[in-house]
Amino acid sequence: MSKGRAEAAAGAPGILLRYLQEQNRPYSAQDVFGNLQREHGLGKTAVVKALEQLAQQGKIKEKMYGKQKIYFADQDQFAMVSDADLQGLDAKIVALTAKVQSLQQSCRHMEAEMQKEIQELKKECAGYRERLKNIKAATNHVTPEEKEQVYRERQKYCKEWRKRKRMATELSDAILEGYPKSKKQFFEEVGIETDEDHNVKLPDP
């Protein structure tokens, strides 16, 4: 084990205890590992050991659901919540759920529109590449002005492709800031297909 990984493992109980208290919801060891490994560099073994240690010390609770252990903060440490507070939280959850659904629908619509435009741009770029190829093979039949026009049009459509790809990336990144799952899972749920999925890339400027 490297020095950095060893230090992370040593601090794992404190990190996990604070995380479970702040989130105050049940997690499996795999969930905790997936949520914290990038930020804190914790290995899965260190996470499992730290959770078991905290449970044995009574600092957190654990329950078996089927074959899986679920860990959560000790509820006795939290103040009692009134019915009015619970109703307020329920209302917030409903509002936030509706907002997420609205954002997902908007994202799907925008993605469909952008995918359509990107496909059209790809076709046009392919056409211009073919024209350019033919021009290069028979330069004596094309004027410098015509050649320059083809170059400009190719740059125009590649620029538009790059712009729309950036817009899609910025939109998805904004949604992912509050999305509880990974980027790959979000793309799969929404139905987003990337250039990489189709093994295509922007031509060099």
Q: pTM of whole model > 0.85?
A: no
Beta bridge partners of 60: 73
Phi and psi at 91, nearest 5°, equal: -65, -40
Tokens representing 192 are 């987003």
Tokens of 93: 């959850």
Q: What is the pLDDT along the chain (205 residues), one digit of tens a residue?
A: 445 555 556 778 888 888 888 888 888 989 888 888 777 778 888 888 988 998 898 888 888 888 888 888 887 776 666 778 778 888 888 888 888 888 888 888 888 888 888 888 888 888 888 888 877 776 556 677 777 888 888 888 878 878 887 887 777 777 777 767 777 777 777 777 777 766 767 666 6
The DSSP secondary-structure symbol of 25 reads S
Size of the chain, expressed as the number of residues it contains:
205
